[in-house]
Amino acid sequence: MTSQAPGKDYEKAIATGLADYRARRVQRYAAVNVILLNWAEDDIGPHLAKEAADLSQMFRDVFNYVVWPYKIPSVDSERSLNLAMAQFIKSFGHEDNLLIVYYSGHGGPRVEEKGPCTWAAYVLQPPCHPHPPRPVVL
């Protein structure tokens, strides 16, 4: 008879099975890098920040990927994001690498002009904002 709680045997069996699986798993990529994009300021609320933190932890702890958080600034957002993405691709976009881009915020095509997709921190411009963030056009 064992002195451990029944759940402990189950947890140990799962941990052993996962360890066996990880040893057999073949990694297709030399490296996997993830960039998590969200706005430094937005009208969405704290739940997206928690979602991004949970996702970051999963990528790091479960998949052992390298995670790079990036807050899109309110001032000069389009140029700053373009520069950050160019640096991310230049640094990690090698032939045998996988790049994952995750964005949390508002987005979609401009309804009034059937143009390219637009990312935005706010649905409407915030009143009396000293530096209203400009939408980023993709």
DSSP 52-121: HHHHHHIIIIIT--EEEEEEEPSSSHHHHHHHHHHHHHHHH--TTEEEEEEEESEEEE-TTTT-SEEEES
Residue 2: per-residue pLDDT: 46
Give every strand in the sheet of 117-120, ordered side by side: 106-109, 117-120, 136-137
Do 40 and 104 form a contact (C-beta atoms < 8 A)?
A: no
Give the tens place of pLDDT for each residue, 55-95.
999 999 988 999 999 999 988 888 999 999 999 999 999 99
Tell me, what amino acid is at 79? R
pLDDT > 70 fraction of the chain, expressed in percent and rounded: 70
Residue 138: per-residue pLDDT: 45
Is 44 strand, coil or helix?
Answer: coil
Do 69 and 88 form a contact (C-beta atoms < 8 A)?
A: no
Confidence of residue 108 (pLDDT cuts 50, 70, 90): confident
- Asked whether the CA dihedral 36, 41, 43, 45 is positive or negative, the reply is positive
Give the tens place of pLDDT for each residue, 4-21.
455 567 677 777 776 666
